[in-house]
């Protein structure tokens, strides 16, 4: 299952790079694996801590790593 997800995320990253939405110089396959590992880890932490903010922070950092602009913050504390 992980490899199927990785392949789909990799395809999205390749398409984003072709459209100039993703900085070059990154291996889409490795980046897809990193993305999935981060999201899965954040999901587990959010579940065990019962705090969706963990997921919001994970996505914020992933966007920063990819050089993408941030979207509005999600917060369970507001």
Would you list the domain boundaries of the chain? 2-66
Location of structure tokens 């299952």: 1
C-alpha to C-alpha distance for 10 and 19, rounded to whole angstroms: 14
Confidence tier at 69 by pLDDT (50, 70, 90): low
Which of 26-30, 47-51, 69-73 is the least confident region? 69-73
By CB neighbour count within 10 A (0-12 exposed, 13-18 middle, 19+ buried), where does 32 fall? buried
pTM assigned to the model: 0.73
- What is the model's pLDDT at position 76? 45
- DSSP 8-state code for residue 24: S
């Amino acid at each position: 299952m992980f490899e199927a997800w990785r392949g789909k995320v990799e395809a999205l990253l390749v398409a984003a790079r072709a459209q100039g939405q993703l900085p070059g110089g990154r291996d889409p396959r490795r980046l897809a694996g990193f993305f999935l590992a981060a999201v899965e880890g954040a999901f587990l932490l959010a579940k065990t801590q019962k705090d969706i903010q963990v997921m919001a922070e994970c996505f914020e950092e992933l966007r920063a790593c990819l050089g993408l602009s941030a979207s509005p913050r999600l917060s369970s504390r507001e």
